Structure 1
Amino acid sequence: MTGTDASPSFRLVYVPGATPAKWVRIWNERLPDVPLTLLQVPAAEAPGALRGGEADAGLVRLPVDRTVFSAIPLYTETTVVVVPKDHVVAAVDEVSCDDLADEVVLHPLDDVLGWERPPGEPAFERPATTEDAIELVAAGVGLLVVPQSLARLYHRRDLTYRPVVDAPKSSVALSWPEEATTDLVEDFIGIVRGRTVNSTRGRTPAQPPAEPRRQRTDAAGTRRKPAPGKSTGRTPRSGSGGPKAARRGKPRRRS
């Protein structure tokens, strides 16, 4: 982006469930001449895409290697269990992990919650992806515990979900390689953090200094004095300090 003749561009990688649309819209309004390209990758592949230079920044799931990446946490998601609509869990507002102890709970290979073993009984085998696990829930094979955004992403009319109050949670962050903090990365950070276009942290053009007030000069370049009789802007003191004292009238002669 810098040091080359190529036109500037910005590449943003994001993981399933993350929703960059609002920030992309603001980017297009503020920097219409800098195209923003989106690239969705599985959560486990996002750090590699950033490290390999495939993207300038990314919306990723924490944790990330902080010796390599800078990260700004954005939000933490509610964790939910996905169940068929006619399942007993659908009749309550929320559940705990203990409530799922007698259920088969699927554990996809792309799980993002980071637990070694979900609650409940393990399935015969682990589904390859979360999307595959959703299909198995619809088929009545088991239940699935995921961040709420993934339950919404793979929503089906025959399924619903409920919060799991004591399950691990997943956080989403804006991340980029620390050694590649470019001006465009700073621009996107400002958008994500809600800075206005005129923010002091933004890269707005510097305003030219105001011109000093010019004094009136004559043809020789010397400062002109106010003409006689014209006000100088000063208020004269009252009393004898004025330019001329008021004249007293003559006393009348007594008859």
Structure 2
Amino acid sequence: MTGSEAPSTFRLAYVPGATPGKWVRIWNERLPAVSLSLLAVTAAEASDVLRDGGADAGIVRLPVDRTVFSAIPLYTETTVVMVPKDHLITAADEVTVEDLADEVVLHPLDDVLGWERPPGEPAFERPATTADAVELVAAGIGVLAVPQSLARLHHRKDLTYRPLVDAPQSGVALSWPEDAHTDLVEDFIGIVRGRTVNSTRGRTQPETQPKDKRGTEPAARRKPAAKQASRSGTAKGAPRGGAKGTAKGARRGKPRRRS
């Protein structure tokens, strides 16, 4: 890159509930010359943004079209049900879909859980967005099942949530177009997967460590020959047998008493 060229940029799209902050910090530490630009998109918009080149990669919700995109699953979220703080559901530590049978369960148009058939009683009309559904929960109109990150994103003092143990779950993945797997995408993959700066799988190769030319341990770690001999019991050339050995011709037994 010459001084007249504009700094390169890596564009990362992310859906509501995703928190790329940790990875962004690591990127800025490792690649300070390449700015990372964040682009907030809805779950429904993510595929079109990546396909049209609006972002180099994205933190998206599964599933994705595997004929167009590559994807690395990152984690699967716990599903929770959002309710007013004085709702009977709050008496339990966790609830099941069956527990919602008599509840009005809101099903927003931007739902990411992919219900075949949402539990409970349907609302008169589907809210346009999850944010709209949260407002209806606060008004006492119904309850809402969402991934836990969305419950945190739309936190309100008058609402709480409980785990919904047998509901569908939402997976989150790093995704990019298969025909646009660039070096910068590979760099971000390395960060997400926890590779070190010197990882052999990254573009930065580790420095080779100097080897002892003799193919042995470094001198500081080798034991002197004299110490090794003393630890073996005797010095080189000393008679074997240790304390049991005697000098040649020496008398054995007690000396005779002179008369």
Q: Does TM, normalized by the shorter one, top 0.5? A: yes
Separation (CA, whole Å) in 2 of partners of 1:178 and 1:112: 24
Is 1:117 aligned with 2:117? Answer: yes
Where does 1:96-107 land on structure 2 (aligned, <5 Å)? 96-107=96-107
Aligned partner of 2:40 in structure 1 is 40
- Give the letter aligned to residue 95 of structure 2: V
Aligned partner of 1:86 in structure 2 is 86
Is 1:197 aligned with 2:219? Answer: no
- RMSD of the TM alignment (CA)? 2.0
Maintained 8 Å contact 2:81/2:144: yes
Count of matched residue positions in the alignment of Structure 1 and Structure 2: 211
Maintained 8 Å contact 1:107/1:117: no
SS across alignment from 1:22: helix
Aligned partner of 2:61 in structure 1 is 61
- 1:140-165 Cα offsets, whole Å, 9 max, x none, are 00000000000000000000000111
Aligned partner of 2:26 in structure 1 is 26
Q: What stretches of structure 1 move > 3 A for 4+ residues in a row?
A: 205-210
Separation (CA, whole Å) in 2 of partners of 1:67 and 1:22: 30
- Give the letter aligned to residue 41 of structure 2: V
Aligned partner of 2:150 in structure 1 is 150
Separation (CA, whole Å) in 1 of partners of 2:23 and 2:170: 21
Unaligned runs of 5+ in 2: 214-236, 238-259
Where does 1:210-221 land on structure 2 (aligned, <5 Å)? none
- Give the letter aligned to residue 46 of structure 1: A
- 1:105-153 Cα offsets, whole Å, 9 max, x none, are 0000000001133100000100000011000000000000000000000
- 1:29-60 Cα offsets, whole Å, 9 max, x none, are 00011000001111011011000000000000
> Once the 2 structures are TM-superposed, how far is the Cα of residue 188 of structure 1 from its aligned partner?
0.1
Unaligned runs of 5+ in 1: 214-237, 239-255
Give aligned-pair identity as a percent: 78
- Give the letter aligned to residue 147 of structure 1: P
* Cα pair distance change 1:150/1:209, threshold 3 Å: closer
Separation (CA, whole Å) in 2 of partners of 1:88 and 1:49: 42
Aligned partner of 1:253 in structure 2 is none
Is 1:135 aligned with 2:135? Answer: yes
- 1:158-195 Cα offsets, whole Å, 9 max, x none, are 00000111100000000000110000000000000000
Aligned partner of 2:178 in structure 1 is 178
SS across alignment from 1:75: strand
Aligned partner of 1:234 in structure 2 is none
Normalising by the residue count of structure 2, what TM-score does the alignment of the two structures yield? 0.78
Maintained 8 Å contact 2:14/2:60: yes
> Once the 2 structures are TM-superposed, how far is the Cα of residue 206 of structure 1 from its aligned partner?
7.3
Separation (CA, whole Å) in 2 of partners of 1:209 and 1:76: 40
Normalising by the residue count of structure 1, what TM-score does the alignment of the two structures yield? 0.79
Separation (CA, whole Å) in 2 of partners of 1:28 and 1:69: 26
